[in-house]
Each structure stands twice: as structure tokens, then as C-alpha cells.
Amino acid sequence: MLKKIALEKLGDLVSALMEKGPLYAPVKGEKAVDFQEITNPADVILDFYNTAMSPKFAFFPQSEDLIRYRLGKEATESEAVSLDAKPSVILGVRPCDAKSFEIMDRHFLGAGIIDPYWNDKREKTTIIGYAFDPSTAADPADFYNTLGISASDTAGSDIFMIRTDKHLLFKGITEKGDRLLKELSVLEAGSKTDEKTFEDKAKKGGEVKTRFMEIQDKAVAGKLVQVFNNKEFWEKATAACISCGACTFVCPTCYCFDISDETLFRDGVRKRFWDACMFTDFTLEASGHNPRPRIFQRYRQKVCHKYSYHVDKYGCISCVGCGRCTRSCPVNIDIYSIIESASKL
């Protein structure tokens, strides 16, 4: 199903989506563009390269309440926070980020227990993907081509959006996406010409070139196992790292979390929130033993987890080449270069 709307009517579409439930879309902040829950349709912008933070927060918020409790002299009263996500939409997700949701699904839904918090929000959210503009060069940090993703890849999106000079074109990718497209009366039906335009534009997306190297999941996974004990390599590659964890927070496929109780006077919340394998006490045991006290050991864990362990466990690399970790790193560490050098060892 193909639908369209004139560019100047974006506000109408945004309003229509807001009526359906919470809408997350790119908004220009003081320093960067990021996804926000929209309260004013005029805030939504489509002229942006990519958001600073990944959209993973929609299913895996930075902080999420699990249990609320009240400490008493005799007993503690507590109540599990119920799962009641509202049907929502994320508008403007770039293809690499849309792909990240599928990778995260393998962990949160596909193996062992189903994570109820991820599942609740994931099920009820419709993702409107948004092709990178083929007339703009890819950011130098990006390497999504290396992970087999193109600037107009529809994988992971429910609806895929492409901008033309005058219109926004929407193509239903999944049943969920088609359902939403049908419901949006503000959209016009696309013509045969529009369909051709969509296909042409999508094809052009394939011509956008990011950094690229030939990698095979299994081969790189095996290579990193070989390189694991090469202390010199890891120390050199991560010498500048200050272990700040920024790379993991901006990453669309980092999912490590902590669970902790926060109490103020008698009232408290047990919550889970983002944590990072880059932090010193991530693996600090109650006995005082810490298996990864050094920065190179922690950085090695991050790289090996994404490019080796994840391949063995879930059958795919846990990276989409969005380039955020490289852009946000205060000391210019670049995971692409590390994989590239490790492959040559």
C-alpha cells in the first residue's frame, strides 16, 4: 500500500498521529536533533541527518520503574508497576536504527524468557522508517553499508517514508503498518507514478556510500576469539579511552542494564536503568573481586560482545553501523577501525 501527503501538510499528519496515542518524532534541541514525545505538531522536523540518541528508548527507556514500595515500621508495602504501554508511533527512524530493533528483539524476545517490559511497548508501537536523503553524503562516521544496510532499507520498519520534492511517500511494509496507513484519512492514495517515484528513490538510496569493509559474521566472530589474548593490541586500540560509557548510551543495540532501589524517606522505586560494560564496577563482585578492572578489558568486552559473542549466541552482529559511538566519543575511538585492524592481525 502506498500513500502520500504534501510536504506542507506534515503538521496535519502529525496531528492525526498524535490523536492515535503518544508520537515520538525528531525535534531540534539546543545542541542536537533527538526523538521526543510530540506535544506541538510544529516541533517535528524532517531536515536532519540522524538523532544524537538512538530510538531504543521507546522500548527500553533509560530508566523504568518495576516496583513501587513504601517502607513501614512493621512491613513494607509494595506493588508491581503494571505494564500498560499505550499504542504509539515513532516517526522518522533511519534504516540502520530500524534494523537495530530486530537485533534487540533476538535478545529480549527470541531467547530464554520474554522480557515483559520490552515486549509490551514493542508490540504496541508502529515504526515509520525514513530513508536517508540520497542527495546528501553519508556522515564520515557511518558504516551501515558494512553491516549490509542501505540508506533506504525497509527492514525493521512497519511503514517506510521517502521524501520527494513536494511529497512524503509512505509504503506499508508490515500488516501493522498497512493498518495504520488505512486509518490515516489525512493521507491520499498514491498513484502509479508515485509508486515508480518511490521505487526510484529507494533504488537511489542504494547508491549512498558509507565506509565499507567486507565482513562475514562468523569470520569476524572467530577472528576476535583469536585476538582476545593479544593484550598489546587491545591496550593500544583503547589507550585513549576514558571509560565514560557514552558509546554505549547512544548505541541502538546496547542493552545492558542495572536494577537498583531508590528510596526517598519511606517511599521508593525499584527500577532498571541503562548500565554499561565500560563502567569500572560493572563486574565488581560483593567479595571485592573484579574480573575486568582495566579499561582495555572492558572495551574488549564491548567489541567482542557485539562482533563475536552475539554472533555465536544470536546469529548476527549486534551493530548497525549508525556511527553514533564514533561521533560521540570524546577521544575519537572508532569501533570500525578496531574491527578493521583486528581483521588484519
Considering beta carbons, is residue 259 or 331 the nearer one to other proteins? 259
Considering beta carbons, is residue 243 or 283 the nearer one to other proteins? 283
Considering beta carbons, is residue 213 or 259 the nearer one to other proteins? 259
> CA 335 to CA 314: how far, in whole Å?
20
Min. distance of Cβ 115 from other proteins in angstroms?
6
Considering beta carbons, is residue 80 or 331 the nearer one to other proteins? 80
DSSP state of 44: B
Min. distance of Cβ 86 from other proteins in angstroms?
19
Give how far Cα 298 sits from Cα of 73, 161, 243, 333, Å: 42, 39, 8, 14
Binding site for other proteins (CB under 8 A): 66-67, 69, 71, 75-76, 78, 80, 83, 107-108, 111-117, 225, 228-229, 255-261, 263, 268, 270, 272, 275, 277, 281-289, 291-292, 297, 301, 304-305, 308-310, 312-313
Which residues partner with 67 through β-bridges?
80, 270
**323 closest CA partner among 58, 146, 92:** 146
Min. distance of Cβ 59 from other proteins in angstroms?
13
Reduced DSSP (H G I as helix, E B as strand, rest coil) percent helix, strand, coil of the chain, to 5 = 40, 20, 40
Considering beta carbons, is residue 304 or 329 the nearer one to other proteins? 304
**117 closest CA partner among 290, 259, 278, 325:** 259
In order, the DSSP letters of 72-102 are -SS--EEEEPP--PPPEEEEEE-HHHHHHHH
Min. distance of Cβ 288 from other proteins in angstroms?
5
Min. distance of Cβ 71 from other proteins in angstroms?
5
Considering beta carbons, is residue 121 or 310 the nearer one to other proteins? 310
What residues contact 68, with CB distance under 8 A and at least 6 apart?
A: 78, 79, 81, 267, 268, 269
> CA 33 to CA 46: how far, in whole Å?
10
Min. distance of Cβ 4 from other proteins in angstroms?
41
Determine the residue type at 325. C
Min. distance of Cβ 64 from other proteins in angstroms?
10
Min. distance of Cβ 188 from other proteins in angstroms?
43
Considering beta carbons, is residue 164 or 243 the nearer one to other proteins? 243
Let me know: does 160 contact 1? Beta carbons within 8 Å.
no
H or E segment at 296? helix 295-304
Min. distance of Cβ 125 from other proteins in angstroms?
19
Considering beta carbons, is residue 191 or 263 the nearer one to other proteins? 263
H or E segment at 292? none
Considering beta carbons, is residue 29 or 110 the nearer one to other proteins? 110
Let me know: does 27 contact 38? Beta carbons within 8 Å.
yes
Helix (H, G, I), strand (E, B) or coil at 127: strand
- Record the cell numbers describing residue 97, joined without a space: 536504527
